[in-house]
Structure 1
Amino acid sequence: MKPDTGRHDLVVVGGGAAGLAAARTGVSRGARTLLVSDGPIGGDCTFTGCVPSKTLIEHAARRAGFGEAMAAVRAAVARIAATESPRALADEGIQTLAGRAELSGPGRIQVGGRRIEAAGIVIATGARPAVPPIPGLAETPYLTSENVFDLTGAPSSLAVLGGGAIGCELAQAFARLGVRVTLIEARDRLLPGEDPEASRIIEDAFARESITVRTGGRVTAVKATSGRVRLEFERGAPAEAERLLVAGGRTPSTGGLTGLPVDERGHLVVDGRLETGMPGVYAAGDVTGLLPFTHAAYAMGRIAASNALGGRRKESFTTKGIPRVVFTDPEVAQVGLTERQAAASKGARVAYLPMDEVDRAITAGATDGFVKLIAGPRPLLGGLGGGRLLGATIVAARAGEMIHEGALAIRTGMFTGRLAQTVHAYPTWSTAIQQAAAQFFGVYGHRTAHPAADGDVP
C-alpha cells in the first residue's frame, strides 16, 4: 500500500464540532490540512443534536404545528450544513475525504485502501446515543436523537427514557406540540447533575404542562404490543406509549482507534494538552469524555490542532469557566462549582436571588427560577473585593444568555465586587447578576450571602 500523494501537516479524523475547529485551526496556521469523516460533515450537532433540537424547542414554544416545526428543523439543518459542506470547506482551504479512518501508528492512518501520513493527528470521532441493556429493548422499535427528527407525524403519546438534558428538552418540546409525554428517570430527580432546586423547578413546570414525570424507578423490561410500547418498572404500574424515545446519554465512538488507551467508560485518555498515549496523536470533543458540549468540543479542537502542529509552547485545556445550559423553559445554566461542590471549600459563600424578586422577570410574567452565585477567598487576598467567583447556577427564562457574565468572571479570576459595581441596563434579566453579587457586601433586598451548604434549598 502506497502513501497518499504528499504528506499532510495535520489530519483530523471526525467532522463534528471538534473536528471542524481543529481543521480550521490547522488552515489558520498555514498547515496542509485533511479532514476525514465517515458521516456528514457537521456531525451530531448539525444533524441530530443542537441545531434540530433547539429549532424544535423554539417552534414548540411558539405553539407551531408538528409539521411546521419539523419543516423548520429541516430548513435550519440544511442552511447550517451548507456552510460545512466539502465544497464550503475547500473554499476555506480544507481538504476533505469521506471514509472510515483506522489508526495504524504514530502519524499514520488508513482510509479504505489509502495510507495517509501526517505530522500531527487529531482524533475527533465524537459519540453516539447510549442504549441501556434493558430486557426487550433491542427487540422493540425505539427512537434516539439520531432519528427522532425524521418523524413525519406526531405520535399520540411518547415515553422518554432518561431525565437528563436531552430527555427534558425533547419531552417539553413534544408536549408543547400536542403529544402526551411520560418522562422517566431512574434516579430520584430530573437533571440529577444540576442543583436540586433547579430540578424541582423544572419538575413543577412540567407538571403544569401535563408532562407525567416518573423518577426513582428503574425500568426492568420493554415490550412492543399492538402498536404500543410497554415499560415495566421494578416498582409501580407499567407505562405505555405509542413511541419510545431513548435519551440515556452518549457513548464514545472509538472504532478503528486500536492502540490508544481508553478509560472504564471507553473514552480516549488524554493529558492536559489533549495528547493521547500515542506520540503526536491528540484527541478532542466527546470522544474524550471531558465535557460533552459543542462549545467545549470546539475549544478542544482548536487546542488539540495547535498542539499537534507543534510550537514552542503547548496550550492546556481546562473545563474551568466553560458553561452548560439545559434549554428547557425555564432554562437551567451552570458554570463552575455548584453549591454542594463548593460546600467543601473553606470560606465559600452563596448569594441567592429568586427570580420573583427581579423586575424583568415580573414584567415578563416568567418568575420561575433563581440566581445563585458562589464566591470564595482569593489566595493571599482572602475575601477582599468579595472574593473570587467559584460558580454560578441560574434558572430563568434567559439563563443561557445570563450565565456568560459568570463564565467571564471565573475565566478571568474577577473580584465578585466587579459584578456588583458594573452598571446593568434596566430592566434586563442580567440585572439579577448585579443584585445577587451585591449580597457579598451586605444586605441587599433583605438578603445577604450565606455559607455554602451541602443541602437542597438556601
Structure 2
Amino acid sequence: MSHDLLVIGGGAAGLAAVRTAVARGARPLLVTDGPPGGDCTFTGCVPSKTLIEAAERGEGFDSAVRRMRDAVARIAAGEDEAALAAEGVDVLRGRAVFRSPGEVEVEGRVVSAERVVIATGSEPLIPPVPGLDGLDHLTNETVFDLAEPPRSLVVLGGGPIGCELAQAFARFGADVTVVEAGERLLSHEDPEASRVVADRFTAEGVAVRTGAAVARARPVPGGSRLEFDTGASVVADRVLVAVGRSPVTAGLGLDAAGVATDEHGAIRTDPRMATTSRRGSYAAGDVTGRPAFTHAADAMGRIAAANALRRGRGRARFDDAEVPRVTFTSPEVAQVGLTEAEAARTHSDARVAYLPMSEVDRAVTAGRTDGFVKIIAVRRTWTGNLGGGRVLGATIVGERAGELVHEIALALRIGMFTGRLAQTMHAYPTHAIAVQQAAAQFFGGYGGRRARTVRAPGDPDTGTDR
C-alpha cells in the first residue's frame, strides 16, 4: 500500500502529524519503535502529573501508583495501534533508518516516501559527571517504576522536572535534596517565581542547594554520594537525574537523508517545520530543539503535516514566542511570552503590572496566597499606550497558574490591548479575576497599585507599583 506521508516517531508530534494527514484525506504511515503515545503518555506528562496530583491530595504512594498506572492505561488505549487503525492510520513498529532521502528501512523492510515528518522526540540528558554512570540512578524514564518511595532522594537538576518530582516525593515521605548548579531553581523563569518555589520547598522540608557543581559521584553502602567541587557532599538512597533532555537523532541515518542537525543534535527547521537542508522533509517536536512541551509538539506536528501535504509553499508557521509553559509544583509557575527581564532587554519602555496573590480574594479564601500575577505590555507604534498597550507576556505563580496563563496566551497571539483584559467581566470570586485586576493597573491603578516600567534583574528600584 502506498502512503502519502511517512511519520517517524509515535509521540505527541507524530500522533498529531498522522491525525492531521487523515483529516486532510491523506493516508499516513506511522513508524514507531515503541508503543504510540511516546514519552508523554508513558514516562512524562501523564504519570508525573498523576503522581503530583496524588501527592497534593495526601494519598499514599501505593494508591498513587495504582492511579498513575490506570491513567496511563486509559490514555494509551486511545492512541494504540487499534485506535489509530480505526482512524485510518497505518502503524509499523520498529526503528527507522534512512537509506537515502526517499527511503527508510524498518527492521529489514524498505519504505519509500516523498514526504517525511521526523518526530523522534528526546531522551534524558545525562551530564558528564565522573562516576555517575556507575550509579543506579533514576531518570524520568525509570522513576515511575519504583514500587515504593526511597527514604532519601537527591534530585540532580532544579528545572521543571526536578522541582516537580522533588516536591511530590517529599510529600510521599522521602527526605529530598535538590542540587542545582545554577544560582537559583527554575533558572528560565522570573527570579521572583524561583524565590516563591524555593520558599515553599523550605517550608515543606525540601533541602535546596544552588550554585552546587557536582565534581564526582560514587556508590556508598545503601546508596550514593554526590561530591561537590567545594568539598561538601550529600548522600541518599537514590539519585534522580533531571538536568534536561537531548534530541533523539543518533542512528537515524540523517546523513543519508540529507538532513542536517545543529551542535546539540537537533534537526534544523524553519518556522514551517521544514528541514533547512532537504526539500520534502519536515521535523516536529523535541527533536527540533524548539520548546520541549507536549502541546508545542502537538502544534508542530500539525503544522509539519499540513505543510508537507500542501502543494507549493506551506503557509502554517510555528511561533516559539506563543508557547505557554507550566511547572506543576505547588504553587504552579506559568509563563507565556516575555519575562520581565527579557522585556527589559528588548523593550525598555515596556510596563509591568504586578499583583500578589495575597490581594486576590479567591486565594485568600482558599488559604493559598503564595505567588503573584505579572503582566507585561508595550506601547504600540501608532497608538502608544492607548488601550493599555499591547500584551508582551506574563508570569503567573499560584495554585491555578496553569489555567490562568491561557487568557494571556490568547491576548499575546492576537495582539490584544491590556484594556480588553481589564474590561472583560470575570466571575467573583475566582482565581482568574487576578488577571483582570492586574490588567486594570495599566489604567490609573487598581487597589492602590499601578503599572511601572520594566526592570532588569539588579536594576535599582526607582519606583513602586503602589
**Range into which the TM-score falls when normalised by the shorter chain:** over 0.9
Q: Which residue of 2 aligns with 1:355?
A: 357
CA distance in 2, matches of 1:153, 1:360: 36
* Paired AA for residue 209 in structure 2: R
Question: Mean Cα displacement is larger for which, 158-167 or 270-279?
Answer: 270-279
Q: Which residue of 1 aligns with 2:168?
A: 173
Q: Which residue of 1 aligns with 2:254?
A: 258
Identity %: 60
Q: Which residue of 2 aligns with 1:230?
A: 225
Q: Which residue of 2 aligns with 1:69?
A: 64
Q: Which residue of 1 aligns with 2:291?
A: 291
Q: State whether structure 2 residue 13 is matched by structure 1 residue 18.
A: yes
Q: Which residue of 1 aligns with 2:280?
A: 280
Q: State whether structure 2 residue 241 is matched by structure 1 residue 240.
A: no
Q: State whether structure 2 residue 208 is matched by structure 1 residue 207.
A: no
SS in structure 2 opposite 1:204? helix
Q: How does 1:54-203 map to 2 (within 5 A)?
A: 54-203=49-198
Deviation at 1:236, TM superposition (A): 5.1
CA distance in 2, matches of 1:283, 1:105: 17
CA distance in 1, matches of 2:348, 2:340: 12
Deviation at 1:71, TM superposition (A): 1.1
The answer for unaligned runs of 5 or more in structure 1 is 1-5
Deviation at 1:444, TM superposition (A): 1.3
SS in structure 1 opposite 2:165? helix
Q: How does 1:213-224 map to 2 (within 5 A)?
A: 213-224=208-219
Question: Mean Cα displacement is larger for which, 442-451 or 101-110?
Answer: 101-110
Which of 375, 383, 403 is the aligned partner of 1:373? 375
* Paired AA for residue 447 in structure 1: R
Q: State whether structure 2 residue 27 is matched by structure 1 residue 28.
A: no
Cα RMSD after superposing both structures: 1.1
* Paired AA for residue 311 in structure 1: R
* Paired AA for residue 430 in structure 2: T
Is the 1:8–1:119 Cα contact (8 Å) retained in structure 2?
no
Which of 404, 407, 416 is the aligned partner of 2:406? 404
SS in structure 2 opposite 1:367? coil
The answer for unaligned runs of 5 or more in structure 2 is none
* Paired AA for residue 334 in structure 1: Q
CA distance in 2, matches of 1:445, 1:194: 26
After superposition, what is the alpha-carbon deviation per residue over 1:31-70, rounded to whole angstroms, capped at 9, x for unaligned?
1110000011100000000000000000001111111111
Question: Mean Cα displacement is larger for which, 106-115 or 16-25?
Answer: 106-115
Deviation at 1:237, TM superposition (A): 2.2
CA distance in 1, matches of 2:288, 2:176: 33
Q: Which residue of 2 aligns with 1:269?
A: 268
Aligned residues: 453
Is the 1:252–1:266 Cα contact (8 Å) retained in structure 2?
yes
In structure 2, do the counterparts of structure 1 residues 273 and 47 end up closer, same or farther at CA, with 3 Å as the change threshold? same
CA distance in 1, matches of 2:231, 2:330: 29
Is the 1:320–1:410 Cα contact (8 Å) retained in structure 2?
no
CA distance in 2, matches of 1:328, 1:154: 18
* Paired AA for residue 307 in structure 2: N
After superposition, what is the alpha-carbon deviation per residue over 1:291-315, rounded to whole angstroms, capped at 9, x for unaligned?
1000000000000001111235421
* Paired AA for residue 253 in structure 1: V
* Paired AA for residue 337 in structure 2: G
Deviation at 1:98, TM superposition (A): 0.2
Is the 2:348–2:454 Cα contact (8 Å) retained in structure 1?
no
After superposition, what is the alpha-carbon deviation per residue over 1:217-269, rounded to whole angstroms, capped at 9, x for unaligned?
10111111111111100115210000110001001100214222111111110
In structure 2, do the counterparts of structure 1 residues 301 and 215 end up closer, same or farther at CA, with 3 Å as the change threshold? same
Is the 2:334–2:405 Cα contact (8 Å) retained in structure 1?
yes
SS in structure 2 opposite 1:297? helix
Q: Which residue of 1 aligns with 2:430?
A: 428
CA distance in 2, matches of 1:160, 1:113: 41
SS in structure 2 opposite 1:436? helix
Deviation at 1:120, TM superposition (A): 1.1
Length-normalised TM-score, structure 1: 0.97
Q: Which residue of 2 aligns with 1:3?
A: none
Q: Which residue of 2 aligns with 1:444?
A: 446
Is the 2:97–2:106 Cα contact (8 Å) retained in structure 1?
yes
In structure 2, do the counterparts of structure 1 residues 348 and 257 end up closer, same or farther at CA, with 3 Å as the change threshold? farther
CA distance in 2, matches of 1:392, 1:426: 22
Q: Which residue of 2 aligns with 1:306?
A: 306
Length-normalised TM-score, structure 2: 0.96
